[in-house]
Structures are given as structure tokens and as C-alpha cells.
Chain A
Amino acid sequence: MELPQVLLDKCYIPSHDIVSREIDGEIVIVPLTAGIGDLSDDLFTLNTTAKAIWLLLDGNTTIAQIVTILCGKYEASRKQIEHDVIGLMEELLARKIITIRTT
């Protein structure tokens, strides 16, 4: 499957079609899909690092700015952090958990 492109100069926000809750330091995300029955594989969780990115998806902070903020918090190189951020964003976009802010 071709992954969606993540644009460094754009802002992203959580989709309206998900519900999230922080439980024990991790973000639990479930999609509001129309299925009925057991939850099966719908559950998605973000670990501590991914959570730091998630919390910056406020619609006002671009991906490039998120990378800069994280560079101030973590010792990894900017290239590595950008790689990790884009990787997570691609997965969240592919799962329709986030969406690009259009206005």
C-alpha cells in the first residue's frame, strides 16, 4: 500500500472519526467505524514517544515545528527525529486517525 505523503509545512489534527483517551501514560485511539460486534483489531495505542508527537497535533503547529520542538527534548539527530515523526504521521494518515488542517 502506498503511504500518504506527509507535508512538513502543514498542520495536522486528530480526525473527527476517532476517540482517544490517555490510559496509564499511553494514548489509546479507537476509530468510530460503523462495524458492530467485537472490536477486533481496531485498537491503536501510542507509546510515550508517539504520544509526545500526538499532543503537538493541535492544528497550529507544522510538522517541521514539531520536529524542532522534539529536537529540544531528545538527543537524537534532527534527521532521525524527522524520520520518526514522518513515519508515525504516515501511519496515522493511512489509518485515517489524523487529517490535514485545511483552513
Chain B
Amino acid sequence: MATYKIAGIPILMTSDETIRSETFAAKFKLFKWQNEGAAALHIYHHFDLPEDIDLPEDKCVYNRPPWHIYKFDGKVAYEEGYILEGRYQRKLLAIWSDNYTTGNIYHVNTDRWNQGGLEHLTCMPTDQIYLASLLSYRQGFIVHAGGVELDGKGFIFIGSKGSGKSSTIQQLMGSATVLCDDRVALRMMPDGPRIYGTWCNRGMIRIMSPASAPLQALCFVEQADTNEAIPITDPQEILRRLLPRIVKPLADTEWWEKTLAIVDELIHKVPAYILRRDLNGKVADVLRNM
């Protein structure tokens, strides 16, 4: 049994096989949580595929091999499978309760588990898919962005590839706590929007933290030969820049309605800037003046 916490959400994991210290990648040690009593999400790992689960073909909502996703009886099933010697063979099956509070992960064998160094708690290609779904029930979402905590304030850096998200974070290392270079969780809390580090990191800087901070500003990063922050006053422009960077799970009407409501509230509560920064490292001063 092991407990982790991400975006303020405790996750309890149990397994039919022993969870060794090296079963999961070292990054998860940062997100370990000691309280086992109040998990909001339970993940169970099993090592034999259930024979009595019939995935109805007409309930398949996603079909891009090796992954098939089914929605049926209030559950969501992610099936990983391959054609081997002309026969379809299931490799992993993850079945989630409708609100993503319980996940049963069925492995075909213990090979992957025993190899260790697993990058995702579910052994699926990424944990961000179920986290994005789970967060929608907790007033939040995951955004493809870098995030830091600087002087107790949270800043998100958003931009397309090559815009300078990672180099901005690099410049801030030493003066700020890097929450994550690549994926940041955001939640609307009673005291305001808050950002959290995640372990879903495919960015250039593999530094992450379970820390969180009240969100001070949304920063849309642009490389320039100056250091300045230009306020964006048009909510529509903020929306058009932010929305494409939100990580979507297998999105349904309910997820979209919740997420758009959160975004609507967010863009009216948190200031947004075009952050132009050069390579001289003075971007921290610009952030402190926001």
C-alpha cells in the first residue's frame, strides 16, 4: 500500500504484488503522503486479467490502437491490446468508476511491474488522462504549461513549442520553486485559484514539486530582447490563448461544461500578461512587479 498526493488530492494505491521502493520512478517519492486514511482516489493493481469482463463493441468511444476506450454501466475502461500472430491480445485493462474515484488496473503479467521505474501510477501511457477527469470534479484542470512559486505566489508560463517556457523556468531556478516544467494542475479553491506541481512531466527540465501556490498571474511567454509584462485586458484573448493549452481527457459534455465554467471564472479573477523575456535572467523582477 502506498499513498500519494497531487493537486491536494490524496491517492491510495494497493497492489496484489509488493510495491517496492523502486517499483515507481524516483519522482513519486516527492509526492508520497503519509496519511492513508482519507484518500479521494483508490488505484488497485491486479495481475491477472479478468475473464468475466466483456467490453461491448458498441460502447467503444475511442479506437486508436493500441488503445481502446469503452464507456458502459457507469464505468470507463481503457484497454491496451495488440494483434499477435493474428490474434488480439489484451495487455492492460484499466477500469474506472464513473467519477474517477476508483481505478482497477489489470496487468497481463508482472513483467512491467517487476522492471520497476514506472513513470505513471496506473502504468497507462500517462496519468494526466485520469487526473484531468478527476480534477474536473474538484474545480480544476491540468494545463500544458510550466509553473513556479516565487515569493509565495504562483505563476504559470504558457506558450507554444519554442516560445521559451522551459528557458523561463531555467532562469527562475534558484529564486523560485519549480512546480513543473510541463504540466501544472490548477484548482479554484475557496480562497482563490491555486496551482500545483505534477509528476506528469515531459518537459526539458525534469524538476517537479508537490508544492502549490495561489495563482498570481497567467503568463503567455514570448521570446524577445526585452523583459516586460504586457497586460492582456480582453478576456476573449486570454480565453483563446489559454483554452488550447488545457489537457483534455476523454472529454464529454459534463467535463466541458465544468471546465468552461472554471475557465470563465479564472480569466475574470486572475490577471494575464504577455511575458516578453530575454536571456539575461531578469524575468524574476518582472514577475515580482506583477
Residues of A within 8 A of B (CB): 19, 21, 23-24, 26, 28, 30, 32, 34-43, 45
Contacts and interface: CB of A to CB of B under 8 A. Distances in A.
Contacts of B257: 19, 21
Contacts of B236: 23-24, 26, 45
Contact-residue size bin, chain B (C-beta under 8 Å from the other chain): 20 to 34
30 contacts: A19-B256, A19-B257, A19-B260, A21-B257, A23-B235, A23-B236, A23-B263, A23-B264, A28-B243, A30-B243, A30-B256, A32-B253, A32-B256, A34-B250, A36-B248, A37-B248, A38-B144, A38-B244, A38-B245, A38-B247, A38-B248, A39-B244, A39-B246, A39-B248, A40-B244, A41-B244, A42-B244, A43-B243, A45-B236, A45-B239
A25 to B, nearest CB: 8
B224 interface: no
Nearest to A39: B244
Contacts of B235: 23-24
A39 B256 contact: no
Contacts of A45: 236, 239-240
Interface majority SS (helix, strand, loop, mixed), chain B: helix
Give the top 9 A-B pairs by smallest Cβ distance, nearest first: A19-B256, A21-B260, A24-B235, A39-B244, A34-B62, A23-B264, A43-B243, A38-B144, A19-B253
B237 to A, nearest CB: 10
B61 interface: yes
Contacts of B243: 28, 30, 39, 43
B251 interface: yes
B240 A36 contact: no
Contact of B260 (A26, A30, A37): A30
Interface in B243-287: 243-253, 256-257, 260-261, 263-264, 267
Given A21-B261, A45-B236, A32 B245 contact: no
Contacts of B247: 37-38
A30 B247 CA distance: 14
B239 A28 contact: yes
